[in-house]
Homo-oligomer: A and B are copies of this chain.
Amino acid sequence: MKRKITLKQIARELEVSISTVSKALRNSAEISEDTKQKVQAFAKLYNYRPNNIALSLKNRKTNTIGIIIPEIVHHFFSKVIRGVELVANKRGYNVIVGLSNESFSKEVINMEMLANGSIDGFILSISKETQQLQDYHHFNETMSQGMPIVMFDRVVSDMNCDKVIVDDLNGAKNAVEKLLRNGCKSIALITTKDYVSVGKLRTQGYLEALEKHQIQPKADLILKIDDTLDYETRLDALENEIKQLFKANNGIDGVFAVNELYALSAMKVARKLGLNIPEDVQVIGFTDGVLSKHSTPSLTTVSQHAQQMGEKAADLLINKLENNIETEEEYFQTVIIATELIERESTK
């Protein structure tokens, strides 16, 4: 169980100074060919690798980025991570993951744990609780210390940082228009309470689509789910609420849901009520996850290109980290990732 070898040990062994070893390994012109060869051979033999921590301390740069997300057992977020990891690795960075579990305090703690030198910058999507509390002091403090943040998906719009967001509004609008073009006359919306920023935007897209086609929205057709309930109780409650929605409104022939699960539940309820999909009711969901693809019938859905979002966020962050041009004029951009409607069996 030999420990990793250091410059000091090589120096002692070869009876030269640490500086010489360091320079020899970096092929400095200062060092004679003889010495270089000797040192390099020895280093290779003992599989020398510079200690990352020492380098980080010296360079005041860890080459690590922190990503904080509300939940990892979730296709959207894990795809984002995949994207982040992909470009981070390609550009020589590591990725350290923190989970807020949708809790404000865990988000704060996680950020504090990482902000003390462990990472060079953050990529994050804020927790629901933070969205409710609207307490953003931890973001401000982090940024005021010179640590850049890139927010994605769930962002706080009036914060001075780079952002990567989905075009939720137009994604939803297009989806609803698709239903309208397909002949739907009475389209229900299943969404979340308004404090969830993306739910709000998708709701707005629904409304704009109706307005564009001169259809008066009916409040009865809009179901706002309280998604703070936990998973188990949620499924039953959810299906119940949807059933009420169908029963209260005769002739629903289209459903737009702001996520996969709501859409699937809608399909399940509709079938139980004797309705056929897509003949009687057409359904479109949001988020191209594994459920949409493998449900029966498979679900037409609005894809967010999650991996692309992660890649973009990582690129933005690393660009900022490496452009230490310090253009005192801080310049922040918001990248909007276009959505794509993936048509499957749940629409005509």
By a beta-carbon cutoff of 8 Å, the part of chain A in contact with chain B is: 1-4, 47, 49-54, 56-57, 62, 64, 72-75, 78-79, 81-82, 85, 89, 94-99, 110, 112-118, 141, 144-146, 261, 264, 268, 271, 289-291, 294-296
Contact = CB atoms under 8 A, between A and B. Distances in A.
Given A4-B116, A51-B117, A95-B98, 14 more contacts: A1-B145, A2-B144, A49-B116, A52-B118, A53-B56, A53-B117, A54-B117, A72-B81, A72-B82, A73-B82, A94-B113, A94-B118, A290-B290, A291-B291
Contacts of A114: 94
A96 B64 contact: yes
Nearest to A77: B78
Scoring A1, A98, A146 by chain B CB atoms within 10 A of each residue's CB, the highest score goes to A1
A345 to B, nearest CB: 12
A223 to B, nearest CB: 19
12 contacts: A51-B57, A52-B117, A52-B118, A53-B56, A53-B57, A53-B117, A73-B75, A81-B97, A95-B97, A97-B97, A291-B291, A296-B296
Contacts of A78: 72-74, 78
Contact of A296 (B1, B113, B144, B268): B268
Contacts of A96: 64, 94-97
